[in-house]
Chains A and B, each alone.
Chain A
Amino acid sequence: GAGVSQSPSNKVTEKGKDVELRCDPISGHTALYWYRQSLGQGLEFLIYFQGNSAPDKSGLPSDRFSAERTGGSVSTLTIQRTQQEDSAVYLCASTREGLTNEKLFFGSGTQLSVL
């Protein structure tokens, strides 16, 4: 596609349920990022994938969060046993190789609401 695509755009779930968020990066982009944007907060880095290298998971807030990237393209962010504090907009971004001087292309995000 022309840009980074995320689905669903909105997700409402009950506390304790698991959710999966999907990201389709721009074709040919080898680097993929997940960020979280909470109300009134900045963007919080979660995880970074680059090609076949081991992902940088240093931003994942707890072991309830995990992400995978299949075939170097589509990525899924999974949140297990969701909590109300997980409510946020989850943003995916991609870039051609690595960040360095390249810009990130962001998707429109998934608005997650945990009731």
Chain B
Amino acid sequence: GDSVTQMEGPVTLSEEAFLTINCTYTATGYPSLFWYVQYPGEGLQLLLKATKADDKGSNKGFEATYRKETTSFHLEKGSVQVSDSAVYFCALSGRGQGAQKLVFGQGTRLTINP
């Protein structure tokens, strides 16, 4: 079945560092890909998405590119801030019957130190 594998956490960085959180997926066909973020004490919210190969999703300085050839959707940010501390989830929605639910990775906890 469809699955998502994320970089093991936790990840701790200093402010203004470059961030990469790796995400790879297994799916039948070409799924839509998402990054969700869970800030402390808040519910999950969509950060960005990409619906077809080579699409780049971006939001709040974060970017991720849908790479069909490597089945990846790595999350990047050039200069992180303390306020980016959160848990990040990579997810996909498949095609056909799988299109109506999100399959999530295990989450990566990110802590940014000032």
Chain A residues packing against B (C-beta within 8 Å): 3-4, 31, 33, 35, 40-45, 48, 50, 56, 59, 91, 93, 98-101, 103-104, 106-109
Contacts and interface: CB of A to CB of B under 8 A. Distances in A.
A91 to B, nearest CB: 7
A103 B51 CA distance: 12
A33 B49 contact: no
A3 B101 CA distance: 20
Given A103-B46, A106-B45, A108-B42, A42 B105 contact: yes
B28 to A, nearest CB: 16
Contact of A33 (B32, B89, B101, B105): B101
Interface of B: 4, 6, 32, 34, 36, 42-46, 49, 51, 89, 91, 93, 99-107
Chain B residues touching A, majority SS? strand
Nearest to A93: B44
B78 to A, nearest CB: 24
A100 B93 contact: yes
Contacts of B100: 31, 48, 50, 56, 98-100
Chain A residues touching B, majority SS? loop
A99 B92 CA distance: 11
A106 B44 contact: yes
A44 B34 CA distance: 16
5 contacts: A3-B43, A59-B101, A93-B44, A98-B99, A106-B45
Given A100-B93, A101-B51, A91 B102 contact: no
A108 B101 CA distance: 19
Contacts of B89: 42-43
Contact of A48 (B32, B44, B46, B101): B101
A99 B93 contact: yes
Contacts of B103: 45
A107 B43 contact: yes
B104 A43 contact: yes
